[in-house]
A = this chain, B = another copy of it.
Amino acid sequence: MTAPLFETVCFVGIGHINSSLARAIRQEGLARRLVTLEISDQARATALELGIVDAAFAEAAEAIPCADLVVIGTPVGAIEAVGQAIGAHLAPGAIVTDVGSVKLGVIRDLMPFIPDGVHFVPGHPIAGTEFSGPESGLAELFRGRWHILTPLPGGDEQATAKVAELWGRVGAQVEIMDPSHHDKVLAITSHLPHLIAYTIVGTASDLEEHLAQEVIKFSASGFRDFTRIAASDPVMWRDIFLNNKEAVLEVIQRFTEDLTALQRAIRWGEGEVLEDRFRKTRAIRRAIIDARQA
Q: Which residues of A contact B (CB under 8 A)?
A: 77, 101, 126-128, 130, 145-146, 148, 175, 184-186, 188-207, 211, 214-232, 234-235, 237-239, 241-242, 245, 248-249, 251-252, 254-256, 258-259, 262-263, 266-267, 269, 271, 274-275, 277-288, 291, 293-294
Asked whether, in the complex, the Cβ of B215 is within 8 Å of the Cβ of A189, the reply is: yes
Asked whether, in the complex, the Cβ of B188 is within 8 Å of the Cβ of A207, the reply is: yes
Q: What DSSP secondary structure best describes chain A's contact surface?
A: helix
Q: Which residues of B contact A126 (CB under 8 A)?
A: 218, 220-221
Taking a contact as CB atoms closer than 8 A, the residue among B225, B231, B237, B241 that contacts A228 in the complex is: B225
Assuming the contacts A215-B185, A234-B279, asked whether A224 and B293 have C-beta atoms less than 8 A apart, the reply is: yes
A196 to chain B, nearest CB (A): 6
Asked whether, in the complex, the Cβ of B266 is within 8 Å of the Cβ of A198, the reply is: no
How many chain copies does the complex carry?
2
Besides the known contacts A201-B285, A202-B281, A217-B291, 17 further A-B residue pairs in the complex with CB atoms under 8 A apart: A145-B220, A185-B211, A188-B204, A188-B207, A189-B204, A193-B200, A193-B222, A193-B223, A203-B254, A205-B281, A216-B287, A227-B281, A231-B282, A234-B274, A234-B278, A249-B267, A256-B256
Q: Which residues of B contact A251 (CB under 8 A)?
A: 203
Q: Which residues of B contact A266 (CB under 8 A)?
A: 241-242, 245, 248-249, 252
Asked whether, in the complex, the Cβ of B258 is within 8 Å of the Cβ of A203, the reply is: yes
Taking a contact as CB atoms closer than 8 A, the residue among B77, B184, B204, B262 that contacts A198 in the complex is: B262
Complex Cα spacing A97 to B258, Å: 36
Complex Cα spacing A54 to B194, Å: 47
A108 to chain B, nearest CB (A): 15
Among A126, A175, A201, A294, which residue has the most Cβ atoms of chain B within 10 A? Answer: A201
A189 to chain B, nearest CB (A): 4
**Residue on B with the closest CB to A222?**
B193
Asked whether, in the complex, the Cβ of B215 is within 8 Å of the Cβ of A278, the reply is: no
A239 to chain B, nearest CB (A): 8
Asked whether, in the complex, the Cβ of B188 is within 8 Å of the Cβ of A274, the reply is: no
Q: Which residues of B contact A262 (CB under 8 A)?
A: 195, 198-199
Complex Cα spacing A238 to B284, Å: 18
Complex Cα spacing A198 to B228, Å: 18
**Residue on B with the closest CB to A194?**
B222
Complex Cα spacing A200 to B191, Å: 12
